[in-house]
């Protein structure tokens, strides 16, 4: 029996939070459509709204050691092989961000995987470089794409556009970590944007909500009754990405999600780098979240007046970025909007190998 729970499974998906289902949903559905048996294990007690019919098992991370499926797929980084059942043949990582693998993640974040489903050309080059630096690495890269792109395109197509012209809508979407945009300038920036007449949404990074609690609390206190302000927590979905006329960010991967989805530029604020691997320079590759900023948008100093000036400029000239954004999307997000099909084919190829069983 391949799986210790009733009926067996070909592919196990691990989501330690409900939010991680965003990245694996389309792959799960494509595999089920092809006749493969899938299951999800999660540490969350909450239902998974994106996959209401999925066979789901809840428990701590130790549950993974009891699950005997040939393929385990996860968007969670830093899952060591020691946590898995010994018969798992392929431990697959689907990145939960379009950013590079070597600066925004700790040094050993991908040591435990056999395959990394590369979002774009940058991930393939980074895996090659990291394999040279970390000889014990098992991981190889396959050009698959970005699972969340499927969900964002689906949501955008279902969106009903407003009938009347409205005020420009600006979303502030920081990364997390020390001295990010929200911590550095959030209160002042929101005040200035509202005074300029914009609708403003603040979208804290999922990884930094706890650290941003003080700023978020102050924003609620000051603007909770203002109909032009909204605080969009991670569990609220992607509404601001679908609706905003401009995104202001720093190094967050959501900036590329927005640019590639909407074909609109991003205003990047030049706060200190988000680096959780202090040795990232040794890889010899400039991280995508640094190199792409002037391609898909504009970089400004971490000063409110510079941000407001940059916002006015990009709102007035967004069309000049469309072609550059399309070219960047083709390089850094393979199979845009059809990642699930690509991932399902790749996993199907793994399962067709008789040695898996």
* pTM for this predicted structure: 0.93
The answer to whether 50 touches 74, Cβ cutoff 8 Å, is no
pLDDT value at position 205? 75
How confident is the model over 97-118, as pLDDT tens digits?
999 999 999 999 999 999 999 9
Residues 6+ apart with CB under 8 A from 95: 23, 75, 77, 101, 116, 117, 118, 119, 123, 146
Side-by-side strand order, sheet with 169-173:
229-231, 199-202, 169-173, 246-249, 266-269, 297-300
Find the mean pLDDT for residues 42-51. Answer: 85
Instruction: Please report the pLDDT score of residue 354 as a whole number.
Output: 41
Going from the N-terminus, what domains does the chain have, and what CATH number goes with each? 11-146+336-356 (3.40.50.2000), 157-332 (3.40.50.2000)
Give the model's pLDDT for residue 215: 84
Which residues have CB under 8 Å from 265's CB, separation 6+?
246, 259, 296, 297, 298, 314, 318, 321, 325
DSSP string, 145-166: --HHHHHHHHHHHHPPPPSS--
Say if residues 48 and 54 touch (Cβ distance below 8 Å). Answer: yes
Specify whether the CB–CB gap between 293 and 270 falls below 8 A: no
Q: CA 61: distance to chain centroid?
A: 22
pLDDT at 348 over 90: yes
- Provide the β-strand partners of residue 90: 71
The structure tokens 């909770």 sit at 224
pLDDT at 161 over 70: no
Q: Tokens standing for 157?
A: 């197509």
pLDDT (0 to 100) of residue 30: 97
Mean pLDDT, rounded, of the chain:
90
For 244-272, how does the pLDDT look when each residue is reduced to its tens digit (9 = 90+)? 999 999 999 999 999 999 999 999 999 98
Pick left, alpha or beta for residue 263 (phi over 0 → left; psi -120 to 50 → alpha; otherwise beta): left
Question: pLDDT, tens digit, for every residue of 186-200?
Answer: 899 999 999 999 999
């Amino acid at each position: 029996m391949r799986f210790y729970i009733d009926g067996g499974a070909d592919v196990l998906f691990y989501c330690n939070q409900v939010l991680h289902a965003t990245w694996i949903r389309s792959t799960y559905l494509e595999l089920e459509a092809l006749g493969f048996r899938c299951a999800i294990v999660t540490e969350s007690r909450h239902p998974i709204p994106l996959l209401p019919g999925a066979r789901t098992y809840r428990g701590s991370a130790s549950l993974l050691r009891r699950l005997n499926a040939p393929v385990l797929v996860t968007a969670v980084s830093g899952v060591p092989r020691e946590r898995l059942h010994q018969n798992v043949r392929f431990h697959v990582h689907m990145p939960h961000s379009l950013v590079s693998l070597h600066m925004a993640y700790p040094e050993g974040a991908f040591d435990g995987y056999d395959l990394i489903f590369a979002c774009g050309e940058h991930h393939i080059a980074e895996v090659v470089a990291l394999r040279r630096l970390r000889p014990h690495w098992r991981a190889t890269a396959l050009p698959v794409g970005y699972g969340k792109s499927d969900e964002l395109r689906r949501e955008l197509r279902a969106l009903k556009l407003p009938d009347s012209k409205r005020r420009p809508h600006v979303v502030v979407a920081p990364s997390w970590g020390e001295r990010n945009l929200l911590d550095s300038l959030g209160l002042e920036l929101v005040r200035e944007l509202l005074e300029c007449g914009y609708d403003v949404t603040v979208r804290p990074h999922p990884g930094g909500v706890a650290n941003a609690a003080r700023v978020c609390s102050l924003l609620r206190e000051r603007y909770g009754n203002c109909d032009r302000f909204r605080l969009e927590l991670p569990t609220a979905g992607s509404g601001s990405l679908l609706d905003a006329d401009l995104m202001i960010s720093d190094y967050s991967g959501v900036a590329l999600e927005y640019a590639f989805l909407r074909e609109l530029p991003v205003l990047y604020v030049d706060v200190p780098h988000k680096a959780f691997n202090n040795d990232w320079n040794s890889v010899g590759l400039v991280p995508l979240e640094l190199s792409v900023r002037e391609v898909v948008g504009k970089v400004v100093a971490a000063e409110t007046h510079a941000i407001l000036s940059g916002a006015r400029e990009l709102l007035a000239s967004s069309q000049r970025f469309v072609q550059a954004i399309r070219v960047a999307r083709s390089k850094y997000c393979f199979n845009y909007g059809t990642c699930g099909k690509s991932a399902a084919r790749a996993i199907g190829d793994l399962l067709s190998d008789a040695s898996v069983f």
